[in-house]
Amino acid sequence: RYEITQREASAEILPGVKTPLWTYEGTFPGPTIESRRGRPVTVSHRNTLPVPTVVHLHGGRTPAASDGYPTDLVVPEGWHGAAVGMGHGSSHGSSHGMQDPRAVLTTLTRDYTFPLEQRPALLWYHDHRMDFTAPAIWRGLAGLHLVRDDAEDSLGLPAGPRELPLMITDRAFAADGSLDYPAVDPTLRERPGVGGSYLAGVLGDVILVNGAPWPVHEVDAARYRLRVLNASNARHYELEAVLDDGRRLDLVQVGADQGLLAAPVVHRFLPIAPAERYDLVVDFSHVPVGGRVTVVNRLGSGRTRDVMAFRVVRRAADGSRIPRVLSADLPLWRRSEAVRVRQFAFRAGRMRAGHGWLIGGLPFDPARTDVTVRLGDVEVWRFVADVHHPVHLHLVGFRVLSRSGGPPLAHDAGLKDTVSLRPGESVEIISRFDGYRGRYLFHCHNAEHEDMGMMANLEIV
Ligand code: C2O
Ligand code: CU
Ligand code: CU
């Protein structure tokens, strides 16, 4: 059991200035929770922030009551805004939420219970309030949750100080150190580096890893396990590990969003979309002492090109290994098992008030059931995209079946819960919808797209 107080705090992220944040327990990222597979965990959240919140454990196989539905609000003590808490008068959802008793549930504190009957994986928890997820995560409401088990522990992968969870985000800062978010101050859209329009998603020009800008981490000349999460609102990365002399180190992928792969996959560089996780082993043993390995984002430029660096500080013994067989329990659903194929278009479109992001032509509405799936059914879902959309399903992991009619890409391996649709692409996934009955979600994990309607209800019956 954990107790987390959501509260305002500030941190010195950039030297010499304080950044006000919304935090879990005073820090950004929030406290990392480590759990064992099948051992239930209860996290009790108390909200002392000036706004209602909702906590979702991303990647968790969680009963619907604890999944953090966007209108299951934890309201701050002494907060009198509940009656207007359902939106900002924008185009979707705000009109009916309070009338539908099913849609809104408010509490002052809330116990979220996670059975964690699932494969060991790097999960993360973050805010999920309807219409306000993106600014809440931007202000700091995100943390890591590692699930482990004995089988994984016994593989011999790098562990202890040689296992590093890395939460990568981008943020924009004002001169006084406060975080810039264009929805809060629309003039910031014009600032160089803040980047692009709000509609496309919010980008920052400072890259943070575990809350620190462009950190340099000292390492032994040995293998390290890097558990990478892209927790950025909208930024995509293509990561590579570059030595001083320009050579690249292999990124050996051992796991995906939902845990270990069947066998390792070697990448020279690795695309990572918002909310995706990659479990990587990087071998620093041939890097000379004093040498530096920079993790670079090939899609970035200027300040956003570098992500972080590793400085090799000493030779050291390394008893770790990368087994050729990593796991034997990966579900392998065949297309012939699927009882249904559904198609969803992820596209921009007109909403009642202005422009938004739609699934199948509709913006999110908590009072509408978009998809009803029978518990235990295997289904194929085909997603088609206009621009880049990282699509995430709650509750279930899935496998990528195809991309635009062809085979999946190398980094689509394993069990995933978020898949990156590239512009113009159609992607098929397959999953068995088991676990729990109830109301879940699927949505684009570009957090601004999500807030601007690109989310839908998945009812499991
Ligand atoms: Cu990471 Cu529905 O979210
Ligand atoms: Cu999720
Ligand atoms: Cu999107």
Tell me: the pLDDT tens digits for 422-445?
Answer: 999 999 999 999 999 999 999 999
Question: Is residue 119 in contact with ligand 1, taking CB distance under 6 Å?
Answer: no
Query: Is residue 182 over pLDDT 90?
Result: no
pLDDT tens per residue, range 90-147: 333 333 334 444 446 777 899 999 999 999 999 999 999 999 999 999 999 999 999 9
Domains 160-315 and 335-460 share a fold: yes
| Exposed / middle / buried, residue 286 (Cβ in 10 Å: 0-12, 13-18, 19+) | exposed
Class of domain 335-460: mainly beta
> Mean pLDDT throughout 264-287?
98
* Residue 176 phi, psi dihedral angles, 5° rounding: -85, 5
Q: Which of 40-44, 103-107, 172-176, 336-340 has the lowest mean pLDDT?
A: 103-107
Q: What is the DSSP string of 46-58?
A: EE-SSS-B-EEEE
Ligand 2 is a single-atom ion; what residues have CB below 5 A from it?
58, 394
State the Cα–Cα distance between residues 410 and 8, nearest whole angstrom.
41
Measure 262 CA to ligand 2 centroid, in angstroms. 23
**What's the pLDDT tens digit per position in 318-334?**
999 999 999 999 999 99
Measured in degrees and rounded to the nearest 5, phi and psi for residue 406 equal -100, -175
Ligand 1 centroid–CA 150 distance in Å is 27
Tell me the domain boundaries of the chain: 2-148, 160-315, 335-460
Residues 6+ positions from 73 with CB-CB distance below 8 Å: 52, 53, 54, 82, 85, 104, 105, 106, 107, 129
**What is the topology classification, in CATH, of domain 160-315?**
Immunoglobulin-like (2.60.40)
CA distances, 409 to each of 31, 301, 423 (Å): 34, 25, 15
Compute CA distances 354 → 87, 351, 452, whole Å: 16, 6, 10
Q: Whose CA is closest to atom 1 on ligand 1?
A: 58
- pLDDT confidence of 314, banded at 50, 70, 90? very high
CA-CA distance, 12 to 380, in Å (whole number)?
47
Cα(378)–Cα(369) distance, rounded to whole angstroms? Answer: 19
Ligand 1 centroid – CA 128 distance (Å): 7
Average pLDDT estimate for 30-58? 97
Confidence band, pLDDT 50/70/90 cuts, at residue 234: very high
If you search the block for the tokens 């070697």, which residue do you land on?
A: 266
For residue 396, the ligand closest to its alpha carbon is 2
pLDDT at 353: 63
**Is the beta carbon of 110 within 6 A of some atom in ligand 1?**
no
Whole-number pLDDT of residue 104: 65
Minimum mean pLDDT range among 90-94, 345-349, 358-362, 396-400? 90-94
76 pLDDT exceeds 80? yes
* pTM, rounded to two decimals: 0.93
User: 190-204, 207-221, 329-343: which range is least confident on average?
Assistant: 190-204
Instruction: With CA atoms as reference, report the closest residue to 72 among 110, 44, 43.
Output: 110
Atom of ligand 1 nearest to the CA of 275: 1
Pairing verdict, β 371-373 and 455-460: parallel
Indicate the fold that domain 2-148 takes in CATH.
Immunoglobulin-like (2.60.40)
- Statement: residue 198 has pLDDT above 90: no
Question: Is residue 128 within 6 Å of ligand 1 at its C-beta?
Answer: yes
Q: Which atom in ligand 1 lies closest to the alpha carbon of residue 418?
A: 1
- Alpha carbon distance 204, 242 (integer Å): 23
Q: Which ligand 1 atom sits closest to the C-alpha of 455?
A: 2
| Contact 392 CB / ligand 1 (< 6 Å) | yes
Q: How confident is the model at residue 199 (pLDDT cuts 50, 70, 90)?
A: confident
441 CA closest ligand 1 atom index: 2
Q: For the segment 141-171, what is each residue's pLDDT rounded down to a tens digit? A: 999 999 999 999 999 999 999 999 999 999 9
pLDDT the model gives residue 206: 98
Report the pLDDT value the prediction gives residue 197, as an integer from 0 to 100: 58
The answer, yes or no, to whether any atom of ligand 1 lies below 6 A from the CB of 126, is yes
pLDDT for residue 306: 98
Ligand showing the shortest atom-to-Cα distance for residue 358: 3
Q: What percent of the chain has pLDDT over 90?
A: 87
**CA-closest residue to ligand 1 atom 3:** 58
